[in-house]
Chains A and B, each alone.
Chain A
Amino acid sequence: MKKLWVKLFLLATAVSVFLPAIAAAAKKAPFVVVSHTTKLTGIQLLWANIYNDDTILFTIITGVAIPIVGCIFGITADKFMSYTGIDLRTRELKEK
């Protein structure tokens, strides 16, 4: 029974490795999503226009914005956490 489970697990792993190759072999037609800008205003309209007109610029802005926003929020939250008095530098092993 144990050997059967091991074989099934290895099969599942092999499928996860080969599935991408199968997918790549299938013919793919382009599937494009266009943002509808009729209901949008202000910064949302600007953002949607960037998306519709220039995917590369849209991707670059997204890729840069995520770590910057994460850092800002993280440092801010860290600052507030430091006021609590909890030791934020060391961790004693709970098991000991």
Chain B
Amino acid sequence: MEWAYMIMPISGVDVFWPGLVIMGLGVGIVGGFIGMGAAWVVTPGLNILGFPMAFAIGTDMAHIAGKSLISTMRHGKFGNVDYPLGIAMLLGTIAGIECGAQVIMWFEQIGKVDLYVRILYMGFLFMMAWWIYLDRKKRKEKEVAAEEKGEKLDKLAGGIEWYKTVHRLKIPPMMHFKVANIHVSWLVPIGIGYVTGVIAGILGIGGGLVRMPALIYFVGCPTHIAVGTDLFEVMLSGLYGAVSFTLKGRTELIAVIIMLCGAAVGAQIGAVATKYYAGMGIRFIYGCCVFVAATSIAQKLIARIYDIPLLDFTSMVWILGGIGFMMLIIMRRFCQGAYKEIQLHREAKAAKRAAKK
């Protein structure tokens, strides 16, 4: 199986390159669907494949930039991208990512990068999963309350509506974002962009993991627009992060190109699959993915602290199996939806032809 291993010229690591393609395909589908770079899979995944953590982070940033470009191109054609909102958030994100990258270099210097990054990852992932659970719970309560009153709840209504409080901030200049249909103070997108940028820089992620729910719960974006806009911003901030980590000598471009081969196909499938899901459905799948990632990192952390090698193995099986399962669910809905759409299209064409005759 020597052909299946390739030496990476910068990090000097021998890597199972089909694993890179499969990982690219899987995270392309999941990331293109829930609107993020899925670095929470790729960074630990690259680490598992043998990359040192700092290289895993830098290489992942570069891969995120390329894959998000592909997804944004697709989502843009659906009208899911609010470009002005993405650019406004980017200004804060760039400052945040640079601060976060400095923190990583400090962690690396004190020799605690693996441990600290995993603890922070786990903490944020559990917090995101909790938000999704709370969102669904509150929406259910609203549905029950509306039924009791004999009314019907608006299908587009969500559970958590923290953005209503944020929108009360009226510090000028106010900005209107047409596609997302929101009117907010300039501080909102830039401030949220900065905080998510710091977190992204420290965790070595594109920021979509935190920014997607932030767009929904704090900015008030509809879910599909949040997915597309987030990917646009991830693309730009990922590119900036990639350049930043490359300057520090922590990016493996060859691994990035190999992963993009799979991601190109996956991102298309994931982006198109959003057509066949309601907003709450996309949020639910996001919550499941985040929960799987958090529990996987928890296992790895326990394995490291208590020296239990078995948990190292189970954490890898758990995350790859979990994300693989989510990928299959998304692909299944994609195939069902695409089949139905093509059938309807063919029937409509046949009806038109018959009408002409």
Q: Do B109 and A31 have beta carbons less than 8 Å apart?
A: yes
B325-339, CB < 8 A from A: 338
Interface string of A31-48 (1 = CB under 8 A from B): 111011101100011011
Nearest-CB residue, chain B, relative to A27: B109
B65: which A residues are within 8 A, CB to CB?
A: 66-67, 70
Closest CB of chain A to B73's CB: distance in Å?
Answer: 5
The stretch from B40-48, B256-264, B289-297 touching chain A is B256-264
B267: which A residues are within 8 A, CB to CB?
A: 74, 77
Nearest-CB residue, chain B, relative to A73: B264
Is B18 close to A, CB under 8 A? no
A90: which B residues are within 8 A, CB to CB?
A: 78-79
Is A71 close to B, CB under 8 A? yes
User: Roughly how many angstroms separate A88 CA and B345 CA in the complex, as a whole number?
Assistant: 13
Interface string of B269-295 (1 = CB under 8 A from A): 000101111110100000000000000
Is A3 close to B, CB under 8 A? no
Size category of the B interface is 35 or more
B345: which A residues are within 8 A, CB to CB?
A: 85, 87
**Known contacts A39-B7, A73-B70, A96-B155: does B254 contact A44 (CB below 8 Å)?**
yes
Q: How many residues of A contact B (CB 8 A)?
A: 57
Complex partner residue of A63 from B109, B243, B261, CB under 8 angstroms: B243
The A-B contact count (CB < 8 A) is: 165
Closest CB of chain B to A55's CB: distance in Å?
Answer: 6
Nearest-CB residue, chain A, relative to B196: A16
Closest CB of chain B to A72's CB: distance in Å?
Answer: 9
Q: Do B256 and A40 have beta carbons less than 8 Å apart?
A: no
Closest CB of chain A to B86's CB: distance in Å?
Answer: 16
Q: Do A69 and B155 have beta carbons less than 8 Å apart?
A: no
Q: Do B242 and A62 have beta carbons less than 8 Å apart?
A: yes
Complex partner residue of A20 from B198, B261, B264, CB under 8 angstroms: B198
User: Roughly how many angstroms separate A26 CA and B253 CA in the complex, as a whole number?
Assistant: 30
Q: Do B73 and A74 have beta carbons less than 8 Å apart?
A: yes
Q: Do A62 and B102 have beta carbons less than 8 Å apart?
A: no
Q: Do B277 and A59 have beta carbons less than 8 Å apart?
A: no
Complex partner residue of B198 from A16, A48, A73, A91, CB under 8 angstroms: A16
**Known contacts A66-B256, A70-B69, A77-B265: does B105 contact A31 (CB below 8 Å)?**
yes
B223-277, CB < 8 A from A: 224, 239, 242-243, 246-247, 249-251, 253-254, 256-257, 260-261, 263-265, 267-268, 272, 274-277
A84: which B residues are within 8 A, CB to CB?
A: 338, 342
B148-207, CB < 8 A from A: 155-156, 194-195, 198-199, 202
Q: Do A62 and B195 have beta carbons less than 8 Å apart?
A: no
Q: Do A95 and B9 have beta carbons less than 8 Å apart?
A: no
Is A65 close to B, CB under 8 A? yes
**Known contacts A33-B250, A48-B9, A73-B260: does B243 contact A28 (CB below 8 Å)?**
no
Is B106 close to A, CB under 8 A? yes
Q: Do A29 and B109 have beta carbons less than 8 Å apart?
A: yes
Nearest-CB residue, chain A, relative to B58: A62
B residues adjacent to A (C-beta < 8 A): 7, 9-12, 62, 65-67, 69-70, 73-74, 77-80, 99-100, 102-103, 105-106, 108-109, 155-156, 194-195, 198-199, 202, 224, 239, 242-243, 246-247, 249-251, 253-254, 256-257, 260-261, 263-265, 267-268, 272, 274-279, 281, 338, 341-342, 345-346
* Cross-chain pairs A/B with CB under 8 angstroms, 7 sampled: A20-B103, A35-B9, A59-B243, A71-B73, A74-B70, A77-B267, A84-B342
Given contacts A29-B109, A69-B260, 8 further A-B contacts (CB under 8 A): A17-B195, A33-B249, A48-B9, A51-B249, A74-B69, A88-B77, A94-B275, A95-B279
A residues adjacent to B (C-beta < 8 A): 13, 16-17, 19-21, 23-24, 26, 28-29, 31-33, 35-37, 39-40, 44-45, 47-48, 51, 55-56, 58-59, 61-63, 65-67, 69-71, 73-78, 81, 84-96
